[in-house]
Amino acid sequence: MRRFNDTKELAGFLQENRDKKTLLTFHSIGDTDAVSSAVVLSKYFASSQIATPDIITSNADRILYKVGLGNIKIPSSFYNEAETLILLDANNFEECGQFEEKMTQFKGEIVIIDHHLPTAIDKENVYVFDNEDYCATASIVYELTELLGMEISVSDAKLLLAGIISDSAELRNSTPKTFMQIGTLLQTAKCSYYEIRKLMSHEESAEARSWAIRDLLGADIFIREGLLFVSGKAHAHANLSADNAIRLGADIAIFYSENENEVSFSARLNTDLDKKYNIHLGRVMRGLAPIIKGTGGGHPSAAGAYGPLKLATEEFLSRFFEECISKVEGK
């Protein structure tokens, strides 16, 4: 494995491989940062395809539609003709669901572009740029677009803004670089920060908002080692309820929702708890997914899982808390 020292070195590598057939992908249950980064960077290559290991989040799908790219359909099939693979917003293969084995067996060059803790992969064909000085992968991709001389459209700028804002924990993890990039991108997008936040928001009906409040009022709450744990059933969007719980002061939150075919879980950690307690929610959810005969993954502080075995919901929640508490208590 080789590490790039900076984005200039990474940009030089991408320039050398621009004409190769390129697959761009990301972690399981691709979020706004991952999807936005892949869509914008894919435009640089002569021949490229974007693929997801399973699904993309409803937020990511909605952003594509709102910026006028609703025609983009991201398949869940691996691009077998690819000569180069770019993995965005993940720094290991195990976060990539059904693509993990394909990546392990991939013979071409694999480029990892991420903003999380550095990892080590024992493969000679892996090239890595992972730097926590960036608050989002979209921040890295924006810097690459400048170095590669790419023209950024209005829709590209809005996608990158959404990626940066969403993955910076609504700017709580920002650096001076973050605000400089946001300012420049807002000029390119020809809009205000308020308009971008409105673009990212989902206008819920009064009834839906009432259920979101009821989800929190009916949540199970307990405190362990000074941390506030919150869980419950969401009547609409589990990710929304989990996000709301964190905003209201929860340290660890997990909510689930059900439909006719499956149960879906969304888990969240408060800022920096992943580093303090070495909790990686993406790995936790991926490890627990077999309980519901499904799949899971995501980031250290935001992850999800879904599967058809709804009868195992309580077991899933119990195991989730066991794993988190064991980390918090240092066991």
Q: What is the pLDDT of residues 182-201, one digit of tens each?
A: 999 999 999 999 999 999 98
Mapped onto helix, strand or coil, the DSSP state of residue 202 is coil
DSSP letter (8 states) at residue 278: T
Residue 205 in 3-state DSSP?
coil
Amino acid at 305: A
Q: Which residues, listed in sequence order, are joined to residue 114 by a DSSP beta bridge? A: 130
Q: What is the rounded CA–CA span in Å between residue 251 and residue 269?
A: 6
Q: Is the pLDDT of residue 242 over 80?
A: yes
Which burial class, exposed, middle or buried, applies to 296 when counting CB atoms under 10 A from its CB (0-12, 13-18, 19+)? buried
Whether residue 67 contacts residue 200, with contact meaning beta carbons closer than 8 Å, is answered with no
- The residue written with tokens 């807002």 in the block is 186
Is there a contact between 8 and 147 (Cβ–Cβ < 8 Å)? Answer: yes
Q: What is the mean pLDDT of residues 43-62?
A: 94
**3 state DSSP class of 83:** coil
- Which percentage of the chain shows pLDDT scores above 90? 71
**DSSP symbol at 30:** B
d(CA 169, CA 28): 19
Say which residue, 246 or 116, is predicted with more confidence. 246
Pairing of strands 21-26, 84-88: parallel
* Three-class DSSP category at 318: helix
CA distances from 2 to 9, 64, 257 (A): 12, 33, 42
What is the structure's pLDDT at 49? 97
Nearest to 130 by CA among 36, 22, 34, 7: 7
331 pLDDT more than 70: no
Half-sphere exposure of 161 (CA within 13 A, CB side): 29
Q: What share of the chain is helix, strand, coil (3-state, %, to 5)?
A: 45, 20, 35
Under a CB-based contact definition with an 8 Å cutoff, are residues 40 and 156 in contact?
yes
How many angstroms separate the CA atoms of 25 and 311, rounded?
32
Mind listing the domains of the chain with CATH numbers? Answer: 2-199 (3.90.1640.10), 206-328 (3.10.310.40)
Backbone torsions φ then ψ of 168, nearest 5 degrees: -95, 20
- Cβ-proximal residues to 122 (8 Å cutoff; 6+ apart), any chain: 1
Residue 132 pLDDT > 90: no
Q: Which residue has the tokens 């209005």?
A: 154
Q: What is the DSSP string of 238-280?
A: HHHHHHHHHHTT-SEEEEEEE-SS-EEEEEEE-TTHHHHHT--
Pairing relationship of beta strands 302-307 and 295-298 according to DSSP bridges: antiparallel
Instruction: Write down the mean pLDDT value for the chain.
Output: 92
Residue 31 clears pLDDT 80, i.e. is over it: yes
Please spell the DSSP secondary structure of 31-65, one letter per residue: -HHHHHHHHHHHTTSSEEEE--SS-B-HHHHHHHH
Statement: residue 330 has pLDDT above 90 = no
pLDDT given at position 118 = 67
Per-residue pLDDT at 235 exceeds 90: no
